[in-house]
Chains A and B, each alone.
Chain A
Amino acid sequence: MIKPMKIIFYSLAILLFIGPVFLLVLQSFTEVWQFSAGQSLTFQLDSYSTLVSDPNIMEATFWSLVIGACVLVINLVIGLLSGKALSSSSFKGKSLLEALFLAPILIPVLAIAMGLHLFMIRIGLADTWTGVVLIHLVPTLPYSIKIFHNAYHQFGNHLLEQAEILGATGFRQLHTIELPLLKPAIRSVTFLTIVISLSQYAITAIIGGGRIITLPLVFFPFLQTANTSLMAAFSVWFALLPFFMYLVVELLLLLLPYTRKPWRNLR
């Protein structure tokens, strides 16, 4: 028997979330829709070949990936360290510190970027990709710290204490206990960080000074000139980058112990 609630759920999910994305992908593979003129769908791949052959977009993709990867690595390192510290000990003012780590989400990042702009010029980080990486940490790191804190909290201190008593070094604990257990957290942080980093137009423009061109900086001017199919392809392109990054991270996670290696099952 199929439950009616299940049907309602899937109809809603298709209507609200899957359907729109499907239409976006469909538009990227078809000519501009003119149903009112009585035309039907015509499939094409021109929008993607235009996209891939545009040197601006390819360069912006490269820089978005470089910046996204750096932001991700810093997020993972700092998130892991502080998540561990926050969950493994209790001290006075801990709840205040947790609130402080979360606070940057609530402060307008536009105000922060404007405020840091002159300072970045003075220390020579304005108009550089390093400066852009730094400013992208502001909207991402609070989430990562929270995610890692929750993850460490969930598997508790006992496992790490056991390893400590048995004489494992910090690195060995990290490699054989923490990282394998943190896999879901690492995956979430990867997706969130890359998507947030790809979402920043204003602060990238301010700190990058128009010299560091990432994908959003190409997307906005494109809107005035490009046709609907090309814009749809460009939109899909945005969603492909997190997948690419996820794939890279997933491959690196295969190096961890206790992972079922896919090639082992191949005959």
Chain B
Amino acid sequence: MKSYSSKLWIHLTPALLFLILPFFGIITAVRHSIFADEGFTLNFYQELFQSDRFFSSLAFSIRTSIIATALAIMIGLILVRLFHPYLAKLSPRISVWLPMLFPHFVWGYLVILLLAESGLFAQVLSAIGWIDGTNHFPILTRDPYGFGIIITYVWKEVPFVILMLLPVYAAIPTTSYDVVKTLGGNRWDQFKTVEWPHIQPTLIETCLIIFSFTLTAYEVPALIGTTYPEMVSVLSYQWFYGGSWDERPLAFVVMVCVSIVIFMIALTSYLYLNRRRMRAMRGRL
């Protein structure tokens, strides 16, 4: 089809034009972080790296995101493994995807409604006498440990993990399981030799998407987080909109640092997956 190849670039042009937006945006953010009125400078980075507030925020953010991502992936994977035959039907699938109808911060509000100290659970538990008064309920929202943020993200991302993994599981041929069974393998062997190679690329991609989102999204921590320690996104947004104009470059520096963290992780996993693919192609897997 010759006409396809000539049309190819016309079809791709709008998408390529779109790419200007994010890449120009991030490049400008980097530029704002290294240029002041008097030209190139690394002062903003120096200033930031002397700030305890930044490091405690970065550590808190990375810890929170890793826990949220790991829990979401594990729970999602377990649910898909156990129930993917049911999830092939429409109504079970819709019931699982129900949280995806709501924006993240609305789900965060639901977590407050249910799990806050004056929330439904606290009220019910104290009404039936399991705890003496709602003030004995553990503090799970706006807490210094990030429980509220983690709960919201895990709850909201499990359906996303299911969405990503379901087509992969549906495509695994059932005969592969039979091979493992015939050769005397147990369920762990089935997972390791049949499922894992199939799901690994999607699993890593999903991991990356959830990690970078939870690390940098503003809405949920702004709603359900506390003022100290705060997530990097909240810190950066405050510096961007803070009273002082001097803090604006710092907002950019925070975001650039976080982007570098994400980029390194993405690059590592890309190289890892690519190496595996190359080895598989040479038949040395």
Taking Cβ atoms with an 8 Å cutoff, the residues of A that contact B are: 5-6, 8-10, 12-14, 16-18, 20-21, 23-24, 27, 33-36, 38, 77-78, 81-82, 84-86, 88-89, 91, 97, 99-101, 103-116, 118-119, 134-135, 137-138, 141, 145, 157, 161, 164, 191, 195, 198-202, 206, 216, 219-220, 223, 228, 231-232, 235, 238-239, 242-243
Contacts and interface: CB of A to CB of B under 8 A. Distances in A.
Contacts of A89: 4-5, 8
Contact of A206 (B22, B98, B213, B240): B240
Interface string B245-259: 000000110011011
Nearest to A6: B86
B218 interface: yes
A238 B101 CA distance: 8
A115 B25 contact: yes
Nearest to B248: A114
B105 interface: yes
Contacts of B240: 114, 206
Contact of A106 (B18, B102, B266): B266
25 contacts: A5-B83, A9-B83, A13-B96, A17-B96, A21-B98, A36-B123, A78-B15, A84-B11, A99-B270, A105-B212, A107-B262, A108-B216, A111-B26, A111-B216, A112-B21, A115-B29, A116-B25, A138-B25, A195-B102, A201-B105, A201-B222, A202-B233, A235-B110, A238-B102, A243-B101
Nearest to A198: B103
B82 interface: yes
A23 B98 CA distance: 13
Contacts of A137: 18, 21
Given A108-B216, A201-B222, A101 B4 contact: no
A85 B8 contact: yes
Contacts of B147: none
B32 interface: yes
Nearest to B27: A115
Contacts of B8: 85, 88-89, 91
Contacts of B21: 104, 112, 116, 134-135, 137-138
A13 B124 contact: no
Contacts of B133: 36
B101 A119 contact: no
A150 B251 CA distance: 37
B259 A35 contact: no
Given A91-B8, A216-B103, 4 more contacts: A36-B127, A89-B8, A115-B26, A195-B102
B15 A101 contact: yes
Given A35-B123, A111-B216, A104 B22 contact: yes
- B-side binding surface: helix, strand, loop or mixed? helix
Contact of A17 (B3, B99, B256): B99
Given A108-B212, A114-B255, A235-B110, A33 B101 contact: no
Contact of B236 (A109, A110, A157, A232): A110
Contacts of A81: 11-12, 14-15
B17 to A, nearest CB: 9
Interface string B203-224: 0000011001101111100110
Among B15, B82, B209, find the residue whose CB has the most chain A CB atoms closer than 10 A: B15
4 nearest A-B residue pairs (beta carbon): A112-B25, A115-B29, A199-B103, A115-B28
Most buried by B among A115, A134, A137, A232: A115
B108 to A, nearest CB: 10
A202 B220 CA distance: 11
Contacts of A17: 95-96, 98-99, 159
Interface string B19-35: 10110111111111000
B78 to A, nearest CB: 10
Contacts of B252: 111, 114-115
B14 A216 contact: no
Q: Which of B30, B96, B105, B133 has the most CB of A within 10 A?
A: B105
A105 B217 CA distance: 12
Contacts of B3: 164
Contacts of B31: 115
Contacts of A106: 208-209, 212, 262-263, 266
Contacts of B262: 106-108
